[in-house]
Each structure stands twice: as C-alpha cells, then as structure tokens.
Structure 1
C-alpha cells in the first residue's frame, strides 16, 4: 500500500510492477486560510497529491524499472488559464487544475514512457457509452446515440458533450498499457453525439506522440482577476443598495 503523501511508502508499493496507472486526486474545497498557508503544509492539498505526490511516484517507478506510467487528470488541464471552467475549478478546488498541470510536467521530465488521459466530466449515471446508448434506445434517457471521441497532443475534442463514463476512462487506461500508439501521448477523451466507435482500439491507431511542450500557465493571475471582479461587482451592488435606501 502506497501513500502519495508519504514518499517512503511508494517504492515498496511499485516494486515488482511493470506498469502504474495513477487515478489519484483530492476532492478538497478551498478555504480562506489558504491565503496565508503554504499548500505544502496542508496534507490533502492538490499541491501535495497532484504535484509532489506524482513527482515522488514517477521517481520511484523509474527507480524500480517500470515500463509504463498512465496518469488520469482532466480536460481542464489543457484549457486556457482564464477559461471559465479552469478559473472556477482553481478557485473552488484549491488550484487543482494548476497542480495537475505541474504533475504532468513532472511525468514528462522523468523520462518514463507515459500516457496522460484527460477525461471530460465523469458521468454520474453510466459507466460506458454502450450503457448510455441502451438507456437512450429504451427511453430511459433522451437524446441521440453517442460514441467515443479522442484528441491527442493534449487537445480537447470539439464536441457538444464534455462528459464520459468512468468505465470508458478505465478501459482507455488499460488499453494505453499495451497500445504501441500511446507512447508519450496526452489524450483528451469524451462522449460525442452520433454513431461511431464504442471502443478505443480504432481511435488509438491514429494517436501521435506529444509535440506541444507543457509550460506553467497564469492560473494564479486568472483567479485573482476573477475574485477582484467578483468583489468589485458585490461592492457596486451594495453601494447601489445603500444609495437606494438613503434616498428612499
């Protein structure tokens, strides 16, 4: 058993393994105290889990000769720092997107063969696209038939739906362990409207290795702009309310 927040446990956990699939991620909500507390002091902070923990894990995987590292992050990692989704997630979830990006950067630096899987929002009701299609055909769900979509080089599939089943993500991770096409690749995956693949094998044949370099993004600045804007709007509304009361 390994604990990402205790690096001494990671070596024994991966020793004897040939590959590693990492799906870890904290569900921590931002707190006011985060403003004056360094994230390294908060055990369940994304800094410690998504970044430092992954950095330590890939170090041990390389030390013990693992051949493949598969990491699950999220589509938001590939979005602009000022995109509404990235801003809201960073604001509400302790900069989870920022530290996922830093974790991905450490994976690339390690020299390990890797596949990073960036799923859309995980569907709460259905694990696989074929389960959703069955529900649609039987009238349990509305809409048209769905299929799988994939984008390589850290891209985001251009689709109307930004969600996917947990089972489909899991099957992609397993397929990435043996597919020759997923070496050093970052894959965005979602469901898409219309008939098409319900499995990954055909889509993986078209995957190319990453070309785009990962660099830090202005996540902190984006959150500051957002919070400043919110504070300004609240101040204006309160001022208007006070003025209305005074002159009424």
Structure 2
C-alpha cells in the first residue's frame, strides 16, 4: 500500500524483498517508479547496498509467519533462532540503522511501523499474552524503537491499532485519533477502537517522510467510530477526519520517555497463573465427570 501510494505520486521507490521472485515482488516490479532489490534485515551488507542513494527508509516489516512462544523463551538466547522476533524487531532494526548511517550520503529519515501495544506496560494482560504467545514481540519492538531513538537519524515511529482492510475514515465518517509521546499526553491513550484502515496508516507513513512536524515523534494512531445511539454518541475532541487536521498537534518525543522494561517477570507470572487456572479447570472437570459417572452407575 505504501509503495503504491508513493509510486502514484511519481516518487522513485526502492522496494526491498527477501525473495525478489515472489508474487508480491513481481507485482511491485510492474509499477512505474519502483525498483525491487534483494535485501534482508538480518543481512547488513544487503541493506547497505539497498539504501544507497535513498533519502528516506520506511520499515513496515513484521515476523511472518508468526512465531509462537515457547516456555524455553524465558531462558534461551532469542538470537539463536533466525525466526525469532528479536532477530527482526531489534537486530534487524539495528542493521538497518547502521546501513542508513554508514552509506554516503547518509539516509535522512527512518519511518518505522510497529504496533499500539508496544507502549503498554509489560504487566498489561495484553503484553503478557503477546509475550507468551508471540515470543515477546512487544519487548523486541520496544528495544528496536529505543535503538531508533538512540541513533543520529531523524525518525517517525507509528504505532497503529489493529490494521484492517477497510475504507478510510474520511469515507465512513469515522474519526482518526492520534496521541504522541509528548508530556501533554502523559497517561493518556486513544480510546478503544475497532481498528484502523490500512490506507489511513499508509497515508500517515507517506506524510512522515517529508513532514517536519512529525520529526522525532512516536505516534499512537487509531480510529473511532462516529457517535451513534449504539455507542451513546461517544465522541473525542482530539480526533479528526483526516491526518492534516490533527498533525499540527504532534510534539516530538521527550528524552527518556521510553525505557527498557522487564518482560520476563510478568510473562513468568502469567505462565504460573495460567498453569494454576488450567489446573483448577482440570480438577473441576475431573470432579464433574466423576460425579456424572457415579450418577450413571447408580441408575443402572
């Protein structure tokens, strides 16, 4: 979607693909202003060649297929598994930053798309679930964002909530919501939503390349359905029907607002709690089945 939008604006694009022969890469190769090159976030040299001559890099990469968590993730080295999120969300981002900084002239801007849950506390039930099921994806995305902030590059990090293939907010009458990591948003977050259009996210990604108002900013973005009787006409004054209406409110990240966090302890606690709950359920079912068996035998 991002490549299509940039190409439609006649912006030259270098699209990186691990498999240039794939169907998706072939589709991109058929577009005007698009060049497809072979590159992998886990291969720093390939990245250096791919970004040479680019003024901005957009990274929307995610681990696919999803790697399900293992109990051994609590103590094993995540970088020993090529499919682990740590190798893409952290080491891959570190490789990309190095490639961008070392090429001549250096890349001016990095736009990274992660997810809204990255900003949640490690003790949040959602974070614990992601740690146990999705191999600590939030942790490694957070570490990757920290690496971006620590670099010398200008950046915009976009954390969308539940990307969906649906019409844009401006077409449905819904509102776009945007919160930053600035002090004015301390403790605040966008209200619960039903997700956000992939096209709306792509529009914001493209705007982030050149819009100086989005410099060194982390954007938490989502969408809110318009007020109706079904949702008690709920509304949010912070929202807007287009990004242009709410981008002026963006403020840059404050130093130290994002810090490393301990995800292991909450995950271990969640695993213990899950084991306890499953044990209780097992004992309850065993008791019910035993009672049922006795009743059946009594009737015979």
- The residue aligned with 2:116 is 75
TM-fit CA distance, 1:197: 2.8
TM-fit CA distance, 1:34: 3.8
Higher RCO (CA < 8 A, seq sep 6+): 1
Q: Is the 8 A contact 1:46 1:94 kept in 2?
A: yes
**How many residues align structurally?**
235
SS across alignment from 1:205: helix
Greater CA deviation, 226-235 or 97-106? 226-235
Distance in 2 between residues matched to 1:16 and 1:149, nearest whole Å = 34
Superposition map of 1:163-242 within 5 A? 163-194=195-226, 197-211=240-254, 213=256, 214-242=258-286
After superposition, the Cα gap between the structure-2 partners of 1:127 and 1:59, relative to the gap in structure 1 and judged at 3 Å, is: farther
Q: Quick one: which of 143, 153, 157 aligns to 1:112? A: 153
- The residue aligned with 1:60 is 99
Off by >6 Å, runs of 4+ in structure 1: none
Q: Quick one: which of 8, 12, 16 aligns to 2:49? A: 12
Larger-Rg structure: 2
Distance in 1 between residues matched to 2:123 and 2:267, nearest whole Å = 8
Kindly provide the CA deviation profile for residues 114-137 of structure 1, in whole angstroms up to 9, marking residues without a partner as x.
0000000112x4052234x1xxxx
Distance in 2 between residues matched to 1:88 and 1:95, nearest whole Å = 9
Distance in 2 between residues matched to 1:50 and 1:186, nearest whole Å = 16
After superposition, the Cα gap between the structure-2 partners of 1:105 and 1:24, relative to the gap in structure 1 and judged at 3 Å, is: same
Kindly provide the CA deviation profile for residues 77-120 of structure 1, in whole angstroms up to 9, marking residues without a partner as x.
11111112111112111110000000000001112100000000
Greater CA deviation, 147-156 or 82-91? 147-156
Kindly provide the CA deviation profile for residues 181-201 of structure 1, in whole angstroms up to 9, marking residues without a partner as x.
111000000002338633212
Kindly provide the CA deviation profile for residues 17-60 of structure 1, in whole angstroms up to 9, marking residues without a partner as x.
00000001102222455456421111121100000000110111
TM-score, length-scaled by structure 2: 0.72
SS across alignment from 1:187: strand
After superposition, the Cα gap between the structure-2 partners of 1:36 and 1:58, relative to the gap in structure 1 and judged at 3 Å, is: same
Q: Is the 8 A contact 2:43 2:95 kept in 1?
A: no
Q: Is the 8 A contact 1:179 1:204 kept in 2?
A: no
Q: Is the 8 A contact 1:20 1:68 kept in 2?
A: yes
Distance in 2 between residues matched to 1:36 and 1:219, nearest whole Å = 12
Distance in 1 between residues matched to 2:94 and 2:139, nearest whole Å = 14
Q: Is the 8 A contact 2:158 2:218 kept in 1?
A: yes
Distance in 2 between residues matched to 1:129 and 1:208, nearest whole Å = 23
Superposition map of 1:67-146 within 5 A? 67-123=108-164, 125-131=165-171, 133=172, 145-146=173-174
Q: Which runs of 5+ in 1 are unaligned?
A: 134-144
- The residue aligned with 1:136 is none
Q: Which runs of 5+ in 2 are unaligned?
A: 1-37, 228-238, 295-300
Q: Is the 8 A contact 1:77 1:97 kept in 2?
A: yes
Q: Quick one: which of 176, 179, 182 aligns to 1:151? A: 179
Compute the RMSD of aligned alpha carbons.
Answer: 2.2
